[in-house]
Amino acid sequence: MTTPLRWGIIGTGGIAHTFAHGLAQTDDVVSAVGSRSQESAEAFGAEFDVPGRYGSYQSVVEDPAVDVVYVATPHPMHCENALLALKNGKPVLVEKPFTMTADEARELVSVARTENLFLMEAMWTRFLPHVIAVRELLAKGVLGDIVSVEADHGQWFEKDPNFRLFAPELGGGALLDLGVYPVSFASMVLGTPKSVTANVTPAFTGVDATTSMLFGYEGGAQAILTCTLLARSETRASIVGTDGRIEILGDFYAPTSFILKLRDGDSELFEFSTQGRGLHYQAIEVARCIRAGELESASMPLDESISIMETMEKVLRFL
């Protein structure tokens, strides 16, 4: 039997809870959790039966019972917290967006490579069964030449200046939290865009509230992407090629199904059996890579995470 991988979680917010629930569907365990308050760490530890409960992040990365660290803190803390783990010899899975800036992303990747440690952005969508199937169809050339990619991610949030998505100091805005999914999806299909155009409507706090993007690529393909904090959208995605198209049913970024429609009129529904929210798939990939001695995942490469941050920086210049 493979020895369970022992996770240390930095942060005790909503995504940390979702990840811990997902990890329960694997053979691995949460062995430590760190928060800025001991009380929060104790509550999280009691909920998930975590033995190591710390009122600091430093204690998590220094715990010898931690094999890998998951960074689940607010966006502006991702780089600092991931660096803390890397510099203490721990492999890291860091929540998306990878960092706040491309410079931070480059710094993280440089340190991980210097230290010969595994690092990955937690774009959990990449590892869901329907996305794996989509990539297999693309690799086979079923759609022919790709003409366009469309994706949207809109959620409604009450206009509260203290809520993290409206708070500039917490890395708020539609793009970094919601738009990262469509941007990463387009990157997965088409790579780094040659041109970036955007129309951005600011929220009352100055962060982007609604952002529409048009990316152009070598060869003529385009991506049309939108995100908003102001309304619940269909959250669907499609890939259109010369020989057919794939329509991913909402929510495209979570476990779902898709339809393949060929130019000759044939169509096929692809459905998948998944458990829970689906974050455990990325945890399984992290464990696989670490056990195999791989320093990054081929499904979410580090250079691509840097490229995605560079693209989002270009979009935010339109704010």
What span, in angstroms and rounded, lies between the C-alpha atoms of 23 and 186? 28
8 Å CB contact between 225 and 186:
yes
8 Å CB contact between 49 and 24:
no
Q: Give the pairing type, strands 52-54 and 29-34.
A: parallel
Pick the closest to residue 313 from 163, 97, 166 (CA basis).
97
8 Å CB contact between 277 and 21:
yes
Our measurement of the distance from residue 154's CA atom to the centroid of its chain's CA atoms, rounded to an integer in Å, reads 16
- Residue 68, judged by CB atoms within 10 A of its CB (0-12, 13-18, 19+), counts as buried
Q: Is the dihedral of CA 79, 81, 86, 87 positive or negative?
A: positive
96 is catalytic: yes
Q: How much is the CA Rg of the chain, to the nearest whole Å?
A: 19
Rounded to the nearest 10 degrees, the angle between the axes of helix 280-292 and helix 14-23 is 70
**Of 87, 90, 96, 261, which one is the catalytic site residue?**
96
Q: Which residues contact 62 (CB under 8 A, 6 or more apart)?
A: 88
As annotated, the active-site residues are 96
